[in-house]
Amino acid sequence: MVSAEPTVRLTGAPRSAAQTRVLDAALELISAHGVSGTSLQMIADAVGVTKAAVYHQFKTKDEIVIALTERELDRLADALEAAEAEEDRVRAREVLLTCVVDLAIERRGAVSTLQFDPVIVRLLAEHKPFEQFISRLYGALLGDGTGAAARVEAAMLSGVISTAVMHPLVADIDDDELREHVLRYMRRLVDLPE
């Protein structure tokens, strides 16, 4: 029997409680200091254990970064699947974008790291499962074109959201209000439902 619908999910093994504690601490530290600016000692201190205990959960620092990126990308998987289910490519993008706005607001603090940290950028391009996921994401984001205009539009859309959500100027705006404003401005850039 040929394998069914290849699922978009990225998750490897389910994470133990100890692993989850490490990933939570790592995400917070990395969001504040970047991947290279975060040491295993800092992570261990934040969890309240020694470095050796952290190394028992993940063999290398890279594995922590991969696991944490995986966990965050997985939050996009449902949105991406819903988008890919749409027949109309423009409609697919609408679905994706509205979901992405919500996720971005939910993860305000971490968005910038995940999109712009040089280590993660490299990982996204070189680690095969990520690369595949990202190119699906770009596919849905491109709408119905692939020319220069469409690519600039897609690039902008992927960035505007994260930037709009993490910018110091909007730090004191609460989630619900921010969401409304961002969606309003997004409608000026592309068609969005409602």
Positions in the binding site for DNA (CB under 7 A): 16-19, 38-42, 44, 48-53, 55-57, 59-62
Q: Where are the alpha helices (DSSP H) in the chain?
A: 17-33, 40-47, 51-57, 61-85, 89-106, 108-116, 118-126, 128-141, 148-166, 175-189
Q: Find the helix or strand (DSSP H, E) in which 127 lies.
A: none
| Residue 100 binding partner per list its own copies, DNA, none, with a CB distance cut-off of 5 to 8 Å that depends on partner kind | none
- Single out the residue of 60, 145, 155, 191 in contact with its own copies (rule: CB under 8 A): 155
* Residue linked to tokens 């109309």: 88
> How many residues bind its own copies, per CB under 8 A?
41
Judged by beta carbon, residue 53 or residue 189, the one nearer its own copies is 189
How far apart CA 110 and CA 125 sit, in angstroms, is: 19
- Nearest distance, CB of residue 136 and its own copies, angstroms: 14
Instruction: Name the residue among 96, 93, 109, 95 with its Cα closest to residue 165.
Output: 109
Contact code string over 19-38 relative to its own copies, x by CB under 8 A: -------------xxxxxx-
Query: With contact defined as beta carbons under 8 Å apart, do 18 and 85 qualify?
Result: no
How far apart CA 175 and CA 49 sit, in angstroms, is: 34
Distances (CA, A) of 153 to 7, 40, 84, 160, 185: 27, 39, 19, 10, 14
Judged by beta carbon, residue 1 or residue 169, the one nearer its own copies is 169
| Residue 98 binding partner per list DNA, its own copies, none, with a CB distance cut-off of 5 to 8 Å that depends on partner kind | none
Judged by beta carbon, residue 10 or residue 142, the one nearer its own copies is 142
Binding residues for its own copies (CB under 8 A): 32-37, 112-113, 116-119, 125, 138, 142, 148-149, 151-156, 158-160, 162-164, 167-170, 173, 177-178, 181-182, 185, 188-189
